[in-house]
Amino acid sequence: MLDEYQCEWKPTERDLKMGALAQRYHAEAEAFDRTVCTGPIREGSILPANPREMAAISRNANTLRKQIMTEAEQFGIGRDEMSKAIGRAA
């Protein structure tokens, strides 16, 4: 009876796409941040040195998030689901 409950979970193509989009969000955001920010690097990420840099990276992050959400919708991935995936990938 116990064997019925022990199964191996295998990600679907949709799950893999969601993970790839979340990873892409973080990679592209960090790449942009490194072109704009002049602050210190902490835990592998560069930090903004002033409000101008913070505004630039925030604008980019919002634009990038919209692009990722639009692409996710094409694969039937909802905004809440994609937001959670981005959070988990951080």
With bands split at pLDDT 50, 70 and 90, how would you rate the model's confidence at 1? Answer: very low
- Number of helices (H), then strands (E), in the chain: 3, 2
pLDDT in tens, 22-50: 999 999 999 999 999 999 999 888 999 99
Q: Could you tell me the pLDDT band of residue 4, with boundaries at 50, 70 and 90? A: low
Burial class (CB in 10 A: 0-12, 13-18, 19+), 72: buried
Span 44-80, pLDDT tens digits: 889 999 999 999 999 999 999 999 999 999 999 999 9
